[in-house]
């Protein structure tokens, strides 16, 4: 059986009651805290910065999964390491020297991820997959929560999985954007290892129950 990891997006949390939401995730079967870092330049929105990341880190009992939707992410890799992040993903579209950036993350004792926007073909990752611990496939255009899932994502995931298996790499596939109860199992069947969900969880009457149900829904037979 294959049960995917679930990384809960804090972008959809209640920032007026952040401690409550962090504790809820700690006590749930969720696996990671997903931190969407936006600078208003790479994406048309600003999310939250280091004070919020540090506040979450102090309470979190599960790994921090930082998704950097920012320009020149190399400037902040050491800062995220100091905050306690275990997973850091940077965008293919934002990194002039992506190979070096991924090595920088790894040398900082964190797992390195490369994220791609919906318009970016997975074939462009051929020469960097060996340096990536995971690939974050955006299934919406990054910048805002609660967007509609882009169906073409399924094809991209299948293509990416084939690339990884062909090269015998061990990197995982993460998907972020519009993940919910109706598409979670299909995504896992296509090859996804890590689901990012926020709106589907925090908009539910009971987020803890939603986390358990989403993981159960996504549970599938191993191929």
Q: Which residues are catalytic?
A: 36, 176
Tokens of 60: 């979190």
3-state secondary structure of 140: coil
Residue of 207, 213, 215 lying closest to 21 (CA atoms): 207
The widest CA-to-CA distance across the chain, in whole angstroms, is: 47
Q: What is the DSSP string of 161-220?
A: HHHHHHHT---EEEEESS--TTTHHHHHHHT-SEEEESHHHHTSSSHHHHHHHHHHHH-B
Helix 18-26 to helix 207-218 angle (10° resolution) is 40
Q: How many residues does the chain have?
A: 223
Residue of 152, 165, 217, 214 lying closest to 191 (CA atoms): 165
């Amino acid at each position: 059986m294959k049960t995917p990891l679930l990384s809960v997006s804090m972008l959809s949390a209640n920032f007026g009651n952040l401690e409550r939401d962090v504790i809820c995730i700690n006590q749930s079967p969720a696996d990671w805290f997903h931190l969407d870092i936006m600078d208003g330049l790479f994406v048309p929105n600003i999310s939250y910065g280091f004070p919020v990341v540090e506040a979450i880190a102090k309470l979190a009992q599960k790994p921090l999964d930082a998704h950097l939707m920012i320009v020149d992410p190399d400037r902040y890799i050491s800062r995220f390491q100091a905050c306690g992040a275990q997973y850091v993903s940077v965008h293919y579209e934002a990194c002039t020297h992506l190979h070096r950036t991924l090595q920088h993350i790894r040398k900082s004792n964190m797992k390195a991820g490369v994220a791609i926007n919906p318009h970016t073909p997975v074939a462009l990752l051929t020469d960097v997959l060996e340096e990536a611990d995971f690939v974050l496939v955006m299934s919406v255009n990054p910048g805002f929560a609660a967007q509609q899932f882009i169906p073409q994502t399924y094809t991209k995931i299948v293509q990416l999985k084939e690339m990884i298996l062909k090269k015998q790499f061990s990197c995982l596939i993460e998907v972020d954007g519009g993940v919910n109860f109706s598409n979670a199992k299909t995504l896992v069947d296509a090859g996804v290892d890590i689901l990012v969900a926020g709106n589907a969880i925090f908009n539910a009457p009971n987020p803890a129950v939603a986390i358990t149900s989403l993981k159960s829904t996504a549970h599938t037979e191993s191929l």
